[in-house]
Amino acid sequence: MKIYAKKILLTTGWTSDVTLDIENGVIADISNEKVAGAMVVEQPIVPGMVNLHSHSFQKAFVGLTEFKASQQDSFWSWRDAMYRLLQKVTPDDLKVISEYLYGEMLRHGYTSCAEFHYLHNQANGVPYDDPAACSHAIIQGAKASGILLRHCPVFYHYSGFGEKPHESGQKPFFNTVESFQRLLEVLQKDYQNDSQVEFGVAPHSLRAVSKQQLHELLDWWKSGPFHIHIAEQEKEVNECVSYYGKRPVEFLLQQGDIGEQWCFVHATHLTASETRDLAKSGVVAGLCPETEANLGDGIFPAIDYLSHSGRWGIGSDSHICISPWRELRTLEYSQRFLHRQRNLLAQSALPHVGRYLWETAANNGSQVVHQQTGKLAIGQRADFITLNTELPELTGRDDDFLLDSAIFACNDNPVRDVMVAGQWRVQQGELLNQQDSAQKYRQVLKRLLEQ
């Protein structure tokens, strides 16, 4: 396949009149001319975005916890409500929910997703006849949509620091190290020849795994990637200090070779030294600004982190928002709130905030999913989107002003077309081959939300 782009954002910057030669889903060549027979793409092309943190099942509960559950409503009261709401979810439901969700991700510009998947058992804690039933459901939902998946089953054993036994609401998450290893081994065998899905390991959090279990997982899953929730809530930080005598990020960075194969999700509450050390480690901070705002987590110290050349990417987490455009807007605005200045997340080499945000999140996200994506160059996967310049908010914009406006001016989705691994998945804003996913999703919601 050959794609002629009238305007495209390559690693070298914005370029006009370029032909991409795509073979087996990968960009095999880039020529600065129009090649005969190439498909002409009129709209500007930019790299697809990586969603580095997703809990698919939580999509079904968006909007159902927006009431005051107690006088001290917090992340923890939200979590209790979420535990109650998930009791009815089956593997069949998960497939429908994930297929719909991943389709929405594609429509908004995500082309890869890392799924932080921690629903493994039935509501009473009894494993399904197939212990990988829930993972299969998520993977099949991804395959039906066409998104590329880094599936990261979650290891969850304890309810809190001090090796407290798991609670009733956490029974669907529970695994021993041995049962968790068997789960990954089954999944690797079942999908060993499937280019659309790869695997990672996700210790849920320092409160949910012991130090010994963490090291057992590190010794076993040597290749990575590893994903972990960390320092999301001040209560979690304080409990970690009480138990380990160290703050979460401080503690985890001392547990061996913690570097580029890791994603520290949230990492909201950091000291100056933790911020510096995390930045220098090569770990990617997995930021989920819309979810973090919704849960009242706090604001990531992005300016200090970037001063030490820290790496970061974005995820949709609880799916209160599925738009990378809004995630990036909220990230920049959070820093404006905090520092009372404008245009903070940019660099001297990339003074336009929109381009800096999009390119950086996409490129660093590729490190998290361990895939050749996030930028458009020879040898990279053909994952890209086109921007809908027919939107009034994008009228008359060009190059860097186009990405600035897509992030900060558009209220409508600015994505027109989406290609993943050389295959069109969205054209003119419409999903291809997924026409009934929304209807199936509505039917699942009606059943789940019955009183």
- List, by residue number, the catalytic residues: 266, 317
φ and ψ at residue 46, rounded to 5 degrees? -135, 160
φ and ψ at residue 161, rounded to 5 degrees? -60, 145
Helix and strand numbers, DSSP H then E, in the chain: 14, 20
Neighbours of 32 (CB within 10 A): 9
User: In 202-346, which ranges are E strands?
Assistant: 202-203, 226-230, 262-266, 284-287, 311-314
How far is the C-alpha of 79 from the C-alpha of 323, rounded, in Å?
23
Sign, Cα dihedral of 330, 333, 338, 343: positive
Nearest alpha-carbon partner for 52 in 312, 388, 328, 357: 312
148 DSSP β-pair partners:
112
Q: In angstroms, how far is CA 312 from the centroid of its own chain?
A: 11
**Contact present, 189 and 140 (Cβ < 8 Å):** no
**Contact present, 113 and 142 (Cβ < 8 Å):** yes
How far is the C-alpha of 267 from the C-alpha of 313, rounded, in Å?
12
Nearest alpha-carbon partner for 98 in 125, 60, 138, 65: 138
H or E, element range at 3: strand 2-10
Spatial neighbors of 268 by CB under 8 A, at least 6 apart, are: 231, 232, 233, 292, 297, 298, 299, 300
DSSP-assigned letters across all residues of 30-75: EESSPPTTPEEE-S-EEEPEEEEEE-GGGGGGTTTT-S--STT--H
**Contact present, 317 and 52 (Cβ < 8 Å):** no
DSSP-assigned letters across all residues of 96-143: HHHHHHHHHHHHHTEEEEEEEE---B-TTSPBPSSTTHHHHHHHHHHH
**Contact present, 157 and 121 (Cβ < 8 Å):** no
Q: In angstroms, how far is CA 425 from the centroid of its own chain?
A: 19
